[in-house]
Each structure stands twice: as C-alpha cells, then as structure tokens.
Structure 1
Amino acid sequence: MTPNPFFSSSGQRPLVIAHRGARAHAPENTLAAARLAHNHGADLWELDVCRTRDGVLVVMHDDTCARTTDARLHPALAGRAPWPVHELTLDELRGLDAGSWFVEGDPFGRIALGEVGPGMCRAYKGEPVPTLAEALALTRSLRWRVNVEIKDLAGTPGDATVVDEVLSLVDDHAMAASVLLSSFRHDYMREAHRKRPHIPTALLIESIGDNAPLALCHEAGAVALHPRSTLMDDHALGACIAAGLHVNVWTVNSLREVARLTRMGVSGIITDIPGECLAALRAQRLRTDTPLRPFPPAP
C-alpha cells in the first residue's frame, strides 16, 4: 500500500473515523459531536460541506434544513420548506437550533439507554450549524484530523466554486497535512488533486464493478476509496490494496462488520459510534456473533 502518513494509526488497527462526529451520542455535524468524537479517541472525524446563499461553507449533510434543525418553528422562514441550505443566508442558518432535534428524537436510542445524560441533552439545545472555517479551526486546535466530504452542489450557484472555496479555507487554516477530501462528485476530487496534489483525496462510491473504481481513483489522483462496507470482499479489497489504494469503509456500526473488515485489512472504519468501535479494536473483543446495540440505519 502506498505510504501516506495521514492514514497511520496507533498499532496495527484500522483508523476509526467518526461519521459526522460521534453522531450516535451528539447532534451530527456539530462542533459538539466533533469534540465528543475526539474525547472518545477517534483518529479523525468526517463532516459534510454545503454552501449558503451568500457563499459561506457550512457543515451539514442534507441539502435542506428539515431533518437536523428547527427551521419549521421559525415564522420568518414560513413557506420556504424544506429550507434548502443554498437558499438560506448564514445569518438565517445561525438562527436555527441544530441540536434540539437530536434530544427530542433520540435517533440512535442512546438517550433512552442513559448514555447521553440530562446535562448533555441540555447542552445540545441551541447548538448552531457550524461553518467549515469553525470546524477546521476546532480540528486544528485539537491537533486532530478531518475528512471533509464535499456534497454534490449540482444545480446550485456553488457548484462551480465549492472546490476552490474549500481549498482556500484549508490553506487559510494551514490544514493541508490534516485534511482528507472526499466526495461522490469525482470531478470535484479531480479538480482538488489538480490544484493541490499534496492534499489527499478519496472517492466515495455506492456500487462497484470490475476495475471501474480503481480506474476512477487512478484517473482522479485519489489515494483512497470510500465504499459502502457491504461492497468489500477479499477480492475487491485485495485489488484495491494491490493498486496502492487505502480503503475506508462506511458506515460500520456492528462488531460483526468491524471484525470482518479488520481481518480483511481495511485502512479505516467510518462509524457513528467511534468510542465503541475503538474500544472493541483495542481490547481485541471482535466476536463475529456479537452485534452492537441495534438502532435505525443512518440516513
């Protein structure tokens, strides 16, 4: 496998990558979720980038604010449902609560289990939507690393400029050595590699066939492939490793999958429960018949 210090972890285990932060125990894609993932010992966190109407890069997975904010409660936003991110200004987003939905819905059942206490629940209420600049600044202050996934902005004003804007922020925060860029929009990654070849990039995929992903990564200059975990078997992973690619799989939330993928030799495990995943890896308690607590699949 091609040497790359970004992908090193302590010991001979896969990297543990906190998916949108520690999102089973905190509201996803918030600084609170990032801090918790860091406290849990994750090697890095993963976040998603969208763009506001006034051209500010913000951290949010969905292209609308319907699921992870209280936009429906704001009279000033009435009639604008489902509140697309690219149609709202930063000030409008800053007025939204990006934490209470997690407390009210308990999407992973961890509040009911007592793993998220009353104090944490109170703290999450009013959590803001962070900007990418704030997320990078936090990551830098923690001397940590981050996987920045650029969402598909096709059909919005940011489509032509988002890569340059992300790269500029990475430069501004002197984070080139601590950032991995990824996207399902492989043309974004080709552009990023062409403009900043020293910043590692990864291609996200949901399907696989023959050697197409390998050819795509080679053509795009990507050093890593980020496939859905179910796409990886010994043959597919072996081909990736032979091609010099790192493979970080998503989204892994069971010990069965952690065990299978670790034995196969994946580079990283993208998970909603970084603390539990890391504890299992460290303790080598990888029993293939022991799933983690079940919860709804990640959207």
Structure 2
Amino acid sequence: MNFLELLSKPALIAAHRGANSLSPENTLSALKKSIGRADFIEIDTQLSRDSVAIIMHDDTLLRTTNVSKIEAFNSKKPYRVSDFTFDELKSLDYGSWFYKNNAKTEPLLTLHDALMFIKENNLFLNLEIKDMSGAFGDEEVVDTVIKEINDTECSDRILISSFRHEYLKMIKTKLHIPTAALVEDSHPKELLSYLRELGVDGYCLNDELVDKKSVEMLREAGFFVGVYTVNSAARSRELFEIGVNFIFSDSLYKDKV
C-alpha cells in the first residue's frame, strides 16, 4: 500500500509532530510512541546552516531545546535554526524541556534517520517542509529533501506538505510523490484552479477554516482533505462526517478515541 491508497481509507488520524503528548515533539522517541496509535505520522523538516535536513518545527531553537543555557551560543540569539551548523545542532538537547525535572534528554533527529525509521517499521509519514525562503533558495530546499527521500527509497510512504506552495509545485517536476497544500487563515482565490495548477493531491487547513460546503467541493474535485489541529473526539467525528479524510492530533490516538 502506498500513501495515496492509505488516504482512500476513512477517518484517518495523524500523530502531529509524532506522539507529542507522550514524548518531545519531532524526536525519534515521539515517532516510536506513535506506532499503533495513529494511521500515519506528521513531522516537520528544515535545514541547518550547512544544508543538512533536520526535524524541527519552530524557526528558532528556544522553545524545544536547551540552547539558551549554553553560554557559547549567546551570540546566536534569537537562535534561528538556519544560523546553526549541523554539528552545533547535534550538541543540543531536544527533550529535557518536556520531561518533569529535566529527567531525560533527547538527541536531534535528522530527516535521514526519520525516513529510515519509517521505512524499517512500515509506517507512513506526512513530511511538512517548513518555509525557509528567508534563508535558502527554493531549489536547494527541495533538492535536499528529495535526495534524502531517494536515498532511503521510501517515496511510496511519504506525503509532502508545506505552507510554501512553491516547494510543492517544484517537487512535482522532480519526484513522483503525493503533495498537499497547507493553509491557515484563508483559502486561495479560485481554490480548485489554484490547487490544480500546483498539481497537489490534497489540501490541509486550519480547523477554524473548515466548512461542509468547501469539503464537499474539494472531495468532489478529487482532492483529499486534512484538518489541523484537532484534539476533541467530538470535533473529529464532526469532521469525518462531513467528508474530511484525516485529522492531525496531539492526543486523539487510535487507542483513545
């Protein structure tokens, strides 16, 4: 089964940034905790200063690492990910902020290792490419991500999404892989035409933007629909009833719904 075949199934739940209510988000531990609890996993990727693809959501390291406690990095405020080399990023702890009394630490997760984990465990992954247009050219970002997917030979298990839609259009010219456009505050004008021009397979939107008419229109036009971030079981049922294919959740794992 490939990712598009998976999306043909109803009422799918994606573990948002891994099982992030059980382990620190976007770490290998969070991916491991997702097994058996979700239909697929969602994580975020961006590049280090020296163009290594790593798994990280925020533009800065402040919230989910110990970077502010390391005196040697004081000169790098506001701690943008793109200002740190891969070796510098590897020196940080990505877990103690999550655990009580800072009892545990977690290492940096690379895109390569995340993809190998997905492949070795026969899982499915929604990979969100963060908007890095302020630090890297679009082609460098896309080519770096595609190289990792090709090297690990797992394109059949991946859905790529992004708020930077230029990435998605470019990816379709380089790799046969499903893609989804992410939006937050408003729909693009002439939505169906816009999505067809991008060549995407799906559309992922903020829960506050969802309405039954739009979902029906998108589904009838052949697009899959995903909604983020849904942490209410009642709301998830409402969304599935109007035709939403999948939701992203921090807590609604399959053994809890």
Band the TM-score falls in, shorter-chain normalisation: over 0.9
* Structure 1 residue 82: Cα displacement: 2.1
CA distance in 2, matches of 1:69, 1:214: 40
* Structure 1 residue 4: Cα displacement: 3.2
Name 2:47's counterpart in structure 1. 51
8 Å contact kept, 1:66–1:81? no
Larger Rg: 1
SS of 2:77's equivalent in the other structure is: coil
CA distance in 2, matches of 1:199, 1:166: 12
CA offset digits 1:252-285 (Å, max 9, x no partner): 001221121011121101111142x5532xxxxx
Name 1:246's counterpart in structure 2. 224
Name 1:134's counterpart in structure 2. 113
CA distance in 2, matches of 1:250, 1:73: 32
Which of 40, 59, 62 pairs up with 1:63? Answer: 59
8 Å contact kept, 2:232–2:252? no
Which of 179, 202, 209 pairs up with 1:224? Answer: 202
Name 2:16's counterpart in structure 1. 19
Structure 1 consecutive aligned stretches of length 4 or more whose deviation exceeds 6 Å:
none
* Structure 1 residue 103: Cα displacement: 1.5
Give the unaligned 5+ runs of structure 1. 106-120, 281-299
Q: Which aligned pairs between 1:32-181 and structure 2 lie closer than 5 A?
A: 32-40=29-37, 42-104=38-100, 122=103, 125-157=104-136, 159-181=138-160
* Structure 1 residue 210: Cα displacement: 7.8
8 Å contact kept, 2:27–2:55? yes
CA distance in 1, matches of 2:80, 2:225: 32
CA distance in 2, matches of 1:211, 1:73: 45
CA distance in 2, matches of 1:213, 1:274: 29
Q: What amino acid sits opposite 1:51 in the alignment?
A: L
Name 1:264's counterpart in structure 2. 242
CA distance in 1, matches of 2:177, 2:235: 29
SS of 1:16's equivalent in the other structure is: strand
Q: What amino acid sits opposite 2:209 in the alignment?
A: L
Task: Please tell me the root mean square deviation across aligned C-alpha atoms, in Å.
Answer: 1.8
SS of 2:18's equivalent in the other structure is: coil
CA offset digits 1:99-138 (Å, max 9, x no partner): 0001249xxxxxxxxxxxxxxx84xx22012110010011
* Structure 1 residue 168: Cα displacement: 1.1
SS of 1:79's equivalent in the other structure is: helix
SS of 1:203's equivalent in the other structure is: strand
Name 1:288's counterpart in structure 2. none
Q: What amino acid sits opposite 2:23 in the alignment?
A: A
Q: Percent identity?
A: 37
8 Å contact kept, 2:89–2:108? yes
8 Å contact kept, 1:214–1:243? yes
CA distance in 2, matches of 1:133, 1:243: 34
* Structure 1 residue 34: Cα displacement: 0.7
